Amino acid sequence: MFSAQQSCWFVRKVICWRAAASIAWAVLLLPPTTAAFIILSRFSILHPFQWISECLSLLTSASAIFSFILLGGVIIIVGFLNLEYYTVIPNIACSKIALLGQLLHPRQFLSSLVHCIMGIIVAWCCAVTIGGRYETLGYPCVESDGSPEMCLNEYHLVLLLAGAFVGFSHSLLGVIHNMNYVSFHTVQRYKYLRFKGSLPLVVKCSATQALYSVRNYIVIYFFLGYIPKTWMCKTLNLHLNSSLHSLDTIAGLLDLCLIYHLWISATFLLFTWYITLVLFRIFVTEVYSFPVQSSFTEDSHQCLPKVITEKQPMILKFLALQDLALLSQHAPLRRSEVFSLSQPGGHPHNWNAISKECLSLLSDLTQRLIVYHDTVATNGRAKPLSTGSERKTSSDTSVSGDDPFTPKSTPLMKTPASVFTRSVVGGPQSPLTAPFTPDLDSPFASPALRRLTAPVGQCSPWHDTVQSPHIMRRGPKLWSTSTDSHVNGSPQLSPASVPSPKQEVSKPSLLAQFLQNRKEQVKNFLAKRVLIMYLFNKLPEASSQALFADSQAHIWALEGLSYLVQASFSEDRFGVVQTTLPSILSSMLVLQEAVDRHFKLPHASSKPVRSSGTMGDCHYKTLRFALRATLKTAIYRITTTFGDHLSTVQMSAEHRKRLQQFLEYKE
Amino acid sequence: MCSLALFPPPLPSGHTTLCESNNELLSGASSEDHRLIQVSQNKLGINTAFLDHSETLWMRSAAAWRDGGFTGLLNEITNSHTEDIFQILKIWCTLALLQWVSSFHGSLFPHLTLSSEDMIAEFSQVLNWPDCVVRAFAWHPHTDKFAVALLDDSIKIYNPKSATTPTLKHRLQRSVAAVQWKPLCASALAVACQNCLLVWHVDPCSLSTRPSSGCAQVLSHPGHSPVTSIAWSPSGSLLVSASPMDTAMMVWDVAAENCVPLQRVGGGGVTFLSWSPDGSHVLASTPSLLFRVWETRMWTCERWPCVKGRCQSGCWSPDGSRLLFTVQGETVIYALTFTDAPGKVYTAAAVVADLSETTFNTQDGDITVGGEIQSLAWDPKGERLAVLLKGLVQSDRPPVIAVFKTRTSPIFELLPCGFVQGEPGAEPRLMQFHPNFQHGALLTVCWSTGRITHVPFYFLSAGVPHFGLNGSPSLPRPQERPSDFANQSLFTEMIS
């Protein structure tokens, strides 16, 4: 993934530097963190002067500097992993099996391994720093027969293994809580203030997470501790000191001092890693100001209208949309560039490119919602469609080409996955996890949904379904507004033409029917097994979250469009916005209808869940609510600005009726 | 500078102000033609329907902790008489230390020792909040409907176009300090309560008179209570809330229910918020001699220390370039100017009006008006400024509303307009301008009797160009007569 992105100027010139700056800051923050760790780990209330002087001498010792270099190396690796694994669109697992698939993915396995090793390194540094009984792995001891030997220092081993365990659990929890997801904030603040604001949360999270990890580790060590112990003894030819009692007993593990040291080491480890993550998030989501137009042609690919249409990398598109939303609100000078005409020719290229991209984003979301709504029956379960056979026939018809209805309107049914496919875009996933991404995993989900989320790279399955008359037919029936000629300029399907493709669809071939029956039988058989049900059952809300996973882009598109339209009322001298106003309004109204319908589905909760204080960003869980609110505000922004002038805008009767509701403040 | 001495004398008793027309305030003896709403003063809650029930101290303490927080718990324990003395002593000993620490903190910021009800009363924009029947009032920014929070903690929504008046009640909706409608939205109403913020979604098409509490979003943050002031951004995307107990001001993304605390050292809390109409600045006053003006792009702030007292109230000009504010303990209005132009830095606020006590000789005898200012309201066109004066009970100086005419361009000017008075015995408690009144400005006043009256000011707006259709007012066209005031010394801003 990384090599593929190298080609992009933005990643090379901006993202890499931002990541480097965040890593540099994280390394610079290491000395104070380490000092705090040393002071806390050697804490002794009875000898305060000795405690302080010991800490000071330790901070200046050679071993401290060596471990500091090691820790710096660990931070750099963590920073690189952040850069490599980050995503702006969260990867939401819709069932237990999908989550399992993500956890067992080779890429994830590699990351866990690296985290484990880094955990051991950090734990070794901690052991050296704490000193005392933790310092070395082996120590000279006298056996019962009186001969001097090297014995295994179990305290050291326990600490090292704790580091490995915490690193491993950190990487697993990272997948479960979507820790690699980078969200953008609505409130813009300077980096220092954002960092300062998030510091208490980082401390709290690392302390609590360390507590849980240490608890789990102690339980595991109690049962399985003898395995690494004997293995260590065997490979390093060390002996167990029989005079000391071993640590994998209740008495050995109930040592409060040991537990405190384990906890403080784990806290230190998690704190440094979380700080690196937080700094990376803050730096990478910083606003980047793209020029709207450039006087030099070689820079034109860096201008907003060009950048905003690019599919890859996602971070570039997101930052461009964020910049659009901000410029439309705050920058009158840059707005005037958006409304300006090209010098020879007098075309509003900037506005056309921007509005076209925003509108296509909105219509993509609308289509996605319609397909989802069609797939999910009103009772919240998948409809028992015989889609398998239907798909076959429909693809047949489209290939044969004699059907007049299907191929013409293909661009209308542009797949939602075409713009933001969770499984392909710069995320950490690779083809192996792709089949486990939303909804695919459930055997009870209908194939239409599968098609929805299928990676666009393997273009063929979707390509077939795109032309499916089945969906096309349903369009005008349920969603009279969805096939809107304003948006795409495609001919609208007349209701009269609907019955004709039905006959073709209604006679599936014998083989297909047989296969379908077998599939149903297998499904029924599997559905009775509890474990299978547990693994494959959909997590509540997850599919809804997955549907809106990339909605931050839509929110910005809505904000950008509505603010630009609002500003055009007084600033647009050439009237370039007027030409697109009908399509903007209609696409917003269609989306509004689709979103309303989605929220009326039984499983879609009407209120956001309160985010708990974890390091994993829960922003994606509330995106759909934010989108709903932004959409309404955007329409109101346009209607309050234009008021009664909107009556002169060309629009279908249904849209006019709906717009009237907004004009009367009744929505 | 403009002072009260230039004002026309107050009306004789028995007369009420009706409206402004032809550049003068008209009065009448009756109030038949007002649209008024009589609000019941009944504060009978559901609690009176139940008998007193004795619980153990622990149960009561837990309930007090849940309801009133730490101070509630302490009160509950100190007020308990029946339990055995040892138990109370034990708790006393454990809590004495904590109380000592909190009292030390309280000595730094005296307002922290107040109970939450007293704190709301202290910092509210409403005059005499605890016994005021109408505790908060809010016009919808786009349509002719408004919300009224009453003494019994319910909120009623009045809409001339619909027959139903929905009543909003919620378990957590107690001691409502402020309400505000979300801009660019038909339904969302934010309510500042004792322990949390509520955002109601009241469907304007619904016929239900009692929306369920499921229609309300509860926004709370530990340590952020009581909420005394809220402000929506004019673009409707963000909501800020303030609590005198919390040094951080919260910026809420309401749809996602998450918040960003904006923390600054100093001040000991935030009491009053006001978002400028252009969305670029937020005024945040603190309980100490300091207020801040936040810039909303990157959320940085300017500190403005006051000399005499805390900032009591403030309001913005429609273009967001000028802030008028008042300071507790002083009887003047200050102005601050904000410009985008770099290099022009203001280091002090200018005094634009003096409202110190002035005695008028009327036929009823001498009437003294003036004093400290409770709140300010500027109409959305920037042409009328209403000032609610606190008055003094002991010296027989009733609270009164003084209205100024204002002009913001080409230079900032304040001219006297007159006093707005109600029926005999009625004191103004709360006022707000209608956000989009066609024919001038409409001031809504809530009185101590529970009445709400609307006082229209008919004038032709100087700043807005008049179109043929909807620009002319329907009433007798008032004419500007600036020559009347030409010989008086008025405040005019020096253009430097």
Asked if pLDDT for residue A431 goes beyond 50, the answer is no
Residue A89, Cβ density class (10 Å: 0-12 exposed, 13-18 middle, ≥19 buried): buried
Exposure letters B107-117 (e unless 16+ CB within 10 A, then b): eebebbebebb
Asked if pLDDT for residue B85 goes beyond 80, the answer is no
Q: What is the pLDDT of residues A535-546, one digit of tens each?
A: 777 777 888 889
- The boundaries of the domain holding residue B344 are 2-36+117-494
Q: What is the pLDDT of residue A612?
A: 63
CA distance A658 to chain B (A): 14
Please state whether the peptide bond connecting residue B226 to the residue before it is cis, i.e. omega within 30 degrees of 0.
yes
Asked if pLDDT for residue A501 goes beyond 80, the answer is no
Q: What Å distances lie between residue A172 and A61, A145, A225, B99, CA to CA? A: 36, 47, 21, 45
Question: Among residues B68, B88, B108, which one ends one of the domains?
Answer: B108
Asked if pLDDT for residue A614 goes beyond 80, the answer is no
Residue B169, Cβ density class (10 Å: 0-12 exposed, 13-18 middle, ≥19 buried): middle
Q: Of the candidates A330, A610, A632, which has its C-beta nearest B185's C-beta?
A: A632
Q: What is the pLDDT of residue B200?
A: 95
Task: Identify the residue among B161, B181, B184 best suited for mutation to test binding to A, counting A beta carbons within 10 A and taking the highest.
Answer: B184
A328's enclosing H/E stretch is helix A314-330
CA distance linking residue B149 with residue B176, whole number of Å: 7
Asked if pLDDT for residue B429 goes beyond 80, the answer is yes
Contact B185 A329 (CB under 8 A): no
Same domain, yes or no: B12 and B100: no
HEC states along A203-265?
HHHHHHHHHHHHHHHHHHHHHHCHHHHHHHHHHHCCECCCCCCCCCCHHHHCCHHHHHHHHHH
CA distance A626 to chain B (A): 5
Q: What is the pLDDT of residue B307?
A: 84
Asked if pLDDT for residue A385 goes beyond 80, the answer is no
Q: Of the candidates B255, B297, B300, which has its C-beta nearest A628's C-beta?
A: B255
Q: What is the pLDDT of residues A635-645, one digit of tens each?
A: 999 999 999 89
Q: What is the pLDDT of residues A209-261, one digit of tens each?
A: 999 999 999 999 999 988 998 898 889 888 887 777 778 888 888 889 999 99
Domain count, chain B: 2
Q: What is the pLDDT of residue B256?
A: 87
CA distance A663 to chain B (A): 10
Q: What is the pLDDT of residue B30?
A: 57
Asked if pLDDT for residue A492 goes beyond 70, the answer is no
Which residues are paired to B377 by β-bridges?
Answer: B386
Contacts of B214 in chain A (CB under 8 A): 606
CA distance linking residue A457 with residue A462, whole number of Å: 10
A349's enclosing H/E stretch is helix A349-375
Same domain, yes or no: B252 and B362: yes
Q: Of the candidates A610, A626, A666, which has its C-beta nearest B186's C-beta?
A: A666
Asked if pLDDT for residue B303 goes beyond 70, the answer is yes
Same domain, yes or no: B171 and B291: yes
Asked if pLDDT for residue B83 goes beyond 90, the answer is no
Same domain, yes or no: B93 and B168: no
Q: Which two tokens stand for residue B36?
A: 């008024």
Q: What is the pLDDT of residues A160-208, one digit of tens each?
A: 999 999 999 999 999 988 899 999 988 999 999 999 999 999 999 999 9
A473, A494 Cβ separation under 8 angstroms: no
Question: Among residues B86, B108, B130, which one ends one of the domains?
Answer: B108
Same domain, yes or no: B355 and B421: yes
Contact A636 B253 (CB under 8 A): no
Residue of B nearest to A617 (CA): B258
- Compute the average pLDDT of residues B464-489: 41
In a domain, B139, yes or no: yes
Same domain, yes or no: B103 and B190: no
pLDDT class of B54 with cuts at 50, 70, 90: low
Q: What is the pLDDT of residues B477-495, one digit of tens each?
A: 444 444 444 334 344 444 4
Q: What is the pLDDT of residues B396-424, one digit of tens each?
A: 788 999 999 998 877 888 999 999 988 88
Q: Which two tokens stand for residue A360?
A: 């296509």
Same domain, yes or no: B63 and B206: no
Contacts of A625 in chain B (CB under 8 A): 255-257
Contacts of B185 in chain A (CB under 8 A): 629, 632-633, 636
How do strand B491-492 and strand B452-458 relate by DSSP bridges?
unpaired
pLDDT class of B153 with cuts at 50, 70, 90: very high
Question: Among residues B108, B128, B146, which one ends one of the domains?
Answer: B108
Q: What is the pLDDT of residue A78?
A: 96
Q: What is the pLDDT of residue A604?
A: 65
What CATH number has the domain bearing residue B400? Answer: 2.130.10.10
Other residues' Cβ atoms within 10 Å of the Cβ of residue A295: 8
In a domain, B45, yes or no: no
In a domain, B484, yes or no: yes
Q: Which of A368-382, A386-400, A551-565, B145-159 has the lowest mean pLDDT?
A: A386-400
Higher pLDDT, A118 or A503: A118
B337's enclosing H/E stretch is strand B332-337
- Compute the average pLDDT of residues B116-135: 91
Same domain, yes or no: B266 and B297: yes
- The H helix count followed by the E strand count for chain B is 3, 33
In a domain, B208, yes or no: yes
Task: Identify the residue among A564, A638, A666 best suited for mutation to test binding to B, counting B beta carbons within 10 A and taking the highest.
Answer: A666
Higher pLDDT, A444 or A139: A139
Q: How far apart are the first and last CA of chain A?
A: 45
In a domain, B99, yes or no: yes
For residue A327, give the 3-state DSSP assignment: helix
In a domain, B41, yes or no: no
In a domain, B46, yes or no: no
DSSP A465-508: HHT-HHHHHHHHHH-TTTS-HHHH-PPPPPGGGSHHHHHHHT--
Same domain, yes or no: B101 and B244: no
B263 touches chain A (CB under 8 A): yes
Same domain, yes or no: B253 and B396: yes
- Compute the average pLDDT of residues A79-101: 91
Order of strands, sheet of B216-219, starting from the edge strand that comes earlier in the sequence: B178-181, B188-192, B197-201, B216-219
Residue of B nearest to A287 (CA): B298
Same domain, yes or no: B166 and B61: no
Tell me the average pLDDT of chain B. Answer: 83
CA distance linking residue A495 with residue A479, whole number of Å: 12
Contact A628 B185 (CB under 8 A): no
Exposure letters A9-41 (e unless 16+ CB within 10 A, then b): ebbeebbeebbebbbebbbebbeebbeebbbeb
| High-pLDDT (> 70) share of chain B, % | 82
Contact B204 A185 (CB under 8 A): no
Tell me the average pLDDT of chain A. Answer: 79
Same domain, yes or no: B324 and B198: yes
Asked if pLDDT for residue B149 goes beyond 90, the answer is yes
Contact A190 B143 (CB under 8 A): no
In a domain, B52, yes or no: no
